[in-house]
Amino acid sequence: MPRFEPNPQRRPVIVAGASSGIGEASAEALAALGHPVALGARRVEKCEAIAERIRAAGGTAFVYPLDVTSTESVDAFVHAAEEANGPTEILVSGAGDIEFALIDEMDPERFLHQVQVHLVGQHRMTHRVIAGMLERRRGDIVIISSDCAPIPRPRTGAYSASKAGVEAFGQQLRMELEGTGIRASLVRPGPTQTAMGSTAHAEVVGPLLDDWVRWGFARHPYLLRASDMAAAVVAVATAPRGVHMALVEVQPEAPLRERPAAEPPVDTAAEPPVDTAAELPVQAAAEPAEAGAVS
C-alpha cells in the first residue's frame, strides 16, 4: 500500500501575480499539464490575454481581479476561482513589485507598501486557501521568494526585508503543516528578466548598478527567463506524494569562458643533480675564550 494517495490528475491552481513574469509563465506551464488555472492580478487585461492563449492551446483559464493588499479582494478572488474551477489544490503566490531606494530616502509609507504586497499578501493568500487543503489533507503552497532574502542587494531595502520575512513565513508554515499532507515550499529566484523594476528611471538604475558591482552582485550579465522559473515551480508543485521540495534556489548559469592553458610539467629527471654540500655555509671555528672572561 502506498504511503500517500496520489494527487488527482486535475488540480485547480490559483496564481497570485499572474499578469507577467514568473506568475504568467507558471500559469501557462501548469495549464499545459491539464490543470485549470485561475489568474489573479490588478492588471486584469493582461491576465485576460494570457488566459486567451491558454484556452487557445486547449487549457482552462479563469480571470478575476486581485489586490493582495486587500483582504476583501483576496476573499472575492478565491471564492470566484473556486466557483469556476473547484477547490484550490495548488497556490502559486508571487504577487509583487519593487522600488529601488536607499533606506534613509524611502518614505515609510512606500516601505510599508512593499511589506504589505510581499509579506502580508502571502499570509492573506495562504490563510484563505489553507482551510480547504487541511480538510482534504493535501495541497501545495508554492511561495515565490528571492535570493535578495538571504543576501540583500544595495538599494532594495524594503524588497529584501520583505522577502526575508517571506522566507521566515514559509519556513514557519512548513513546520506547522508537517504531517497534514500540505507541502509549503519556497522557490528562490536569482536575477530574472521580468517586467518588475523595468520602469525605474535611468538616474535610479545607474547608481543602483554601480553599487551592485561594488558589492559583487554583477559577476556576469546573464539572467534567468521567466520560463526557467516556471519550470522550477512546476517541479515543486507536481513532485510525487512523499517528496517535499522545501526550498529550491535557481541561478542563471554563467557564460562559458576560456580556461587558461595548463603549464607544461617540469622534467626534473633532465636537470643535473645539485651538490647540496657545496652550498652549505662553512661555520667559523670558535675563538678560545680570553682568561678571566665570563662565558
Q: What span, in angstroms and rounded, lies between the C-alpha atoms of 113 and 10?
A: 36
C-alpha cell at 163: 522577502
Q: What is the DSSP annotation of 188-238?
A: EE-SEESSTTTT--HHHHHHHHHHHHHTT--S----EEHHHHHHHHHHHHT
Exposed e or buried b per residue across 16-26, where buried means at least 16 C-beta atoms within 10 angstroms of its C-beta: bbbbbbbbbbb
End-to-end CA distance of the chain: give it in Å, rounded: 92
21 Cβ contact partners less than 8 Å away, ≥ 6 residues apart: 94, 192, 194, 195, 196, 226
Is 64 a residue of the active site?
Answer: no
Which of 77, 111, 159, 169 does the annotation list as catalytic?
Answer: 159
> Would you name the residues annotated as active-site residues?
159
